[in-house]
Amino acid sequence: MGRLFILLGLTFLFMHLHASGNISKYINMEYSYVSQIAIYILAIFTLMGSYLYFKEGNQEEGVDCQCGHDHSRENKKWKRNLTYFLYFIPILTGLFLPVATMDSNIVEKKGFHFPVYEDSDEYSQHQFLQPDTSLYYGKDDYLTLMDNSLKGLVDRDSLQLTDENYLNDLEAIYYSPGKFTGKQITLTGFSYNSDELAKNQVFLFRFGVIHCVADSGVFGMLIEFPEGMHPKNDEWYSVTGELESIYYQPFKKTIPLLKVSSHSKIAEPDDPYVYRQY
Amino acid sequence: MNVQALLQMNTIFISILIESLPFILLGVLISGIIQIFVSEEMIAKIIPKNPILSVLSAIGAGVFFLACECGIVPITRRLIAKGVPLSAAIAFMLSAPILNPIVLFSTYIAFGNSWSMVFYRGGIAFAVVLIIAFILSFQFKTNQLKQEHIEHIHHHKLTFNDKITGMFKHSIEEFFSVGKYLIIGALLAAAIQTFLKTSLLLEIGQGKLSGNAVMMALSYVMSLCSQADAFVASSFRSTFSPSSLVAFLVFGAMFDIKNTIMLLGTFKTKFVLCLMAYIFISVLGLTLLFIS
């Protein structure tokens, strides 16, 4: 009987996540069909489970069903109850606890880095620290791909990073920061302080999701606000400014820096994440 | 430890379940089908007698089998119970999450439409699987399942309806025997992401040996799905060498926190630990030897 409730609970959890739309706070919706398949299988399991339960009686005490399993699996009652309790954890916390947004706490634990490919500082003393990345750039592939996506961007004087183009445009900027120096860039994100920075300098980040929140990481840019301003962590800003570069000691690298000309503090967006699209 | 962090841990936990439960469900469904519709005699006929050929054909089957590293565990267990040799079954289990077309294609996309990482990932994975199968076939003579006693099912006299109900009965049974390990694994992985400073790992080193070891450790604790890990790996390409990223992509798809717990629930502890050590050493050795 306990098993039926678990199957029913899991089916309901998955259906509820889809019906309420909350599932988009957990996964990239491009893959939502995968969890839809789960609903069907769980529903069938629940139906078949109840059919078997009522037709053949309660077999959870361990009856030979010829399937090669050791049905004496959880002989002790407390042990079985403990296992059942385990299954109820996601059902209960998934249904009743609020969905949390990833923020600076996770950034601090997971760390962050910038994919700067072309060191814009020609006199960089740290070239020898760079790994040999030539393997990543095959003759026909990455360079032409990036050059193509760059073509559209470098001709413009200003770039607006939206939810849709956020990851792609950032990648282009980090791929070739020199080509974007002096351009106007507008982006949105939450603030993250680092000890190595001046008080008016913060990172503006957004979590980028590949498949699910568990594989997300932050993508963003170093921002310099006007003197005297000192944002705390996890405040959302929309900023516009001019792209420059700065040497960032922890990474031993020159990274892009956006000198803010106008900014506004905003509420956390309805969808705080950006998603990887194929 | 504050409330917000606990809620974040729960959110990560649920998201891992949403992502992996569908594959576990498909896995137990296939396991049920194998149990009822595939007999030991059929397996004995299909699997080549020659051990090398049996491993190669198992890898071949893995290539066309779309599964992840947790969904494949119940299927592997069922195959072993049906008489597939341990080395061939493990070869299948290790190759399916890496060598399948979807994973290789996502690697291609993640590294900016580049084939070189795809070839390295696939090539190293293939070599690792061969080495592991070779060692296992000499070291372990028994099936290494926790429950060694296997009952033989007799196929005569069962109607089709009986078979279908039997299949579901078995699948549900299997679901409850592996599901709990998935939940424990997902809880553990979520706790590590929320409370441990994994970024400290990255500070250990990016050198030749240390970089590879660090990336392998990272892929283990991050417990990424093998279809998503290439995107995470590609974000490290400005700081880590290709060799260490291939180590990340191969080791993480074969072993991580989630599936270690599932394997420990299925196989004997000594076997799981040996398997993990062999995979670690061969991935480390091969990536250091062959990739810059």
**Cβ–Cβ gap B169/A52 under 8 Å:** yes
Model confidence at A276, pLDDT cuts 50, 70, 90, reads confident
Contact B226, B107 (CB under 8 A): no
* A251 and A139 assigned to the same domain: yes
| pLDDT for position A124 | 40
Q: B222 CB contacts (<8 Å, ≥6 apart)?
A: A215, B189, B193, B198, B229, B232, B252, B256
* A157 and A260 assigned to the same domain: yes
**Cβ–Cβ gap B237/A110 under 8 Å:** no
Count of domains for chain A: 2
Question: Among the three residues A77, A96, A115, which one is the final residue of a domain in this structure?
Answer: A96
* A45 and A146 assigned to the same domain: no
* A15 and A85 assigned to the same domain: yes
Partnered with residue A217 across adjacent β-strands are A208
Rounded to a whole number of angstroms, the distance from the CA of A227 to the nearest CA of chain B is 30
> What is this structure's pTM?
0.86
Q: Could you tell me if B4 lies within 8 Å of chain A, comparing CB atoms?
A: yes
Domain that holds residue A85: 2-96
* A181 and A257 assigned to the same domain: yes
* A84 and A200 assigned to the same domain: no
Summarize pLDDT for A210-255 with one digit per residue, the tens: 888 988 889 999 999 998 899 999 999 999 999 999 888 888 788 8
Res. A63: pLDDT tops 50: no
Q: Could you tell me if B175 lies within 8 Å of chain A, comparing CB atoms?
A: yes
Summarize pLDDT for B166-219 with one digit per residue, the tens: 899 999 999 998 899 999 989 998 998 899 888 788 777 777 888 899 999 999
Domain that holds residue B109: 3-290
> Residue A76 — φ and ψ, nearest 5°?
-75, 140
Exposure string of B190-214, with b = 16+ CB inside 10 Å and e = fewer, is bbbbbeeebeebbeeebeeeebbbb
* A132 and A207 assigned to the same domain: yes
| pLDDT for position A144 | 66
* A216 and A144 assigned to the same domain: yes
Q: Which residue has the higher pLDDT, B229 or A91?
A: A91
Res. B36: pLDDT tops 60: yes
**SS percent in chain B: helix, strand, coil, step 5:** 75, 0, 25
Chain B (125-144) residues lying within 8 Å, Cβ to Cβ, of chain A: none
Rounded to a whole number of angstroms, the distance from the CA of B71 to the nearest CA of chain A is 13
* A55 and A186 assigned to the same domain: no
Res. A141: pLDDT tops 90: no
Q: Which is it for strands A184-192 and A201-209: parallel, antiparallel or unpaired?
A: antiparallel
Contact B4, A100 (CB under 8 A): yes
Summarize pLDDT for A148-180 with one digit per residue, the tens: 677 777 778 888 999 988 988 888 888 788 888
Running DSSP on this structure, what letter comes out for residue A188? E
* A76 and A121 assigned to the same domain: no
Res. A130: pLDDT tops 60: no
Summarize pLDDT for A11-36 with one digit per residue, the tens: 999 999 999 999 999 999 988 898 99
**CATH code: domain of residue A259:** 2.40.50.140
* Whether the predicted interface score ipTM is above 0.90: no
Chain B (46-75) residues lying within 8 Å, Cβ to Cβ, of chain A: none
Count of domains for chain B: 1
- Measured CA to CA, the distance from residue A263 to residue A72 in angstroms comes to 65
* A147 and A83 assigned to the same domain: no
Round the CA-based radius of gyration of chain A to a whole number and report it. 25
Q: Could you tell me if A29 lies within 8 Å of chain B, comparing CB atoms?
A: no
Res. A126: pLDDT tops 70: no
| pLDDT for position B28 | 92
Residue A110 has its nearest CB partner, among B25, B198, B240, at B198
* A208 and A138 assigned to the same domain: yes
CA angle A257, A259, A265 (to 5 degrees): 110
